Amino acid sequence: MQLKNQKKIGGALRVATSTLLALNSSVTIADEGDWEIDSAILYYSETDRVTAIEPVITAKRDFGEEKALNLKLVIDVLTGASANGATPSDQVQTFTRPSGEDSYTTSAGETPLDDTFKDTRVALSTQWDQPLGRDYKISLGANGSKEYDYFSLGINGSLSRYFNNRNTTLTAGLSFANDTIEPEGGVAQKFSSMVINTEHENDDEQENDDEQENDESKTTTDFLLGVTQIINRRTITQFNYSFSNSSGYLSDPFKILSVVGSDGRAQDYVYEYRPDSRTKHALYSQMKYHLNKDIVDLSYRYMWDDWGISSHTFNMRYRWMLGNKHYLEPHVRYYMQSEADFYHRFLRSGEDLPAEASADYRLGELNGITLGLKYGMTLANGHKMSIRFEYYLQTGDANASNVPGILKNQDLFPDLDAMIFQLSYSF
């Protein structure tokens, strides 16, 4: 099962989840001692690929004196198919499923998709906020998630300092996570060949080979330093710098590369191998401006890492108030990314293997645009409800001119599009 991808939903899904499951920003302010409940359900569907349903429940209780407890439950249910990394061909191709006990085929001219992308993830998190004196605030939290073959635990903490009559807030945060993956069929060795298992008389032998390494782990440390500034009664700004370091097993155990001959047809399929560490840096800025009753929300993020990837993210929302209890909120997001140093759409037979290589399209050069519209309203009982529709389109590299043989006539970088629906309710 392709659960390595599921942890962060991957590519477009990861973008949609982080953007759309941020619950309604105009939440109800709970009285001291009361619980404030935010709920949402996300439906995400890629054309001919992944479908996800993700309900979220967040509960917050105000204990007075700026002390608050936050609890959050997320459930991901994913099904469908994802690209396994192999190139399309003018012939039918056969691949072995991750379990090693079955196989699947891809028709000529089609992107190879593995339809075993399915599982359920349950994630729980808790956060406690409280002041330290008049000018400081501390936040401490923990989180965990469990999938069929993926387990993650994390802790985090942050300290905020208020200045200038609380018009300026400086925040520093630190988090640590440890993840363990036990993929079905075991962890493949670096660039080991996929055994095409069309007959199962050697299943036991294959299973024993695959299980030489049954699990891997990785650790991630994140640091954030940010400042929030109230400019005037209409304008608030935020600037963040974030640092992230991951080490351990960072490959995707289900992704492969095609090793092609001079005619462009695959002669072998090998499992990918990525560097065992990654360091990322990001700069983020955001401004919210109250224009009469309406709100303009603009943000920009620049990220770069030691894998050679850099990205730009532009985001804009405009909350158009339709009276005191209704609003419309158009949303536009544009994302552009360069490819990783070790990204290879395919490998060539007879040439030396690189130190690392992956054909995962999420590591390639790509652009993504999200267009959406949200409608929100406050009900007569004071509860709040919103509904959002989004369309996401991702495009990659155009076909390169130096590809061999039949690959010149294949779509090596097909577009990916998705429809997203979200319903939120707060009380």
Q: What is the pLDDT of residues 167-225, one digit of tens each?
A: 999 999 999 999 999 988 788 899 999 988 655 444 444 444 444 468 899 999 999 99
Q: What is the pTM of this model?
A: 0.87
Which residues, 6+ apart, have CB-to-CB distance to 402 below 8 Å? none
Closest by Cα among 51, 4, 43, 3 to 20: 43
Average pLDDT estimate for 260-282: 96
C-alpha 177/C-alpha 301 separation (Å) is 23
pLDDT for res 198: 55
- Confidence band, pLDDT 50/70/90 cuts, at residue 20: very low
Kindly list the structural domains of the chain, giving each domain's residue range(s) and its CATH number in brackets, ordered by start: 3-36+47-426 (2.40.160)
Which element (helix H / strand E) includes 18?
Answer: helix 11-20
Question: What's the rounded mean pLDDT across residues 88-92?
Answer: 95
Q: From residue 74, how far is each of 41, 143, 360 by CA, in Å?
A: 10, 11, 26
To the nearest 10°, report the CA torsion of 156, 162, 163, 169: 50
What's the angle, vertex CA 344, arms to CA 343 and CA 348, rounded to 5? 155
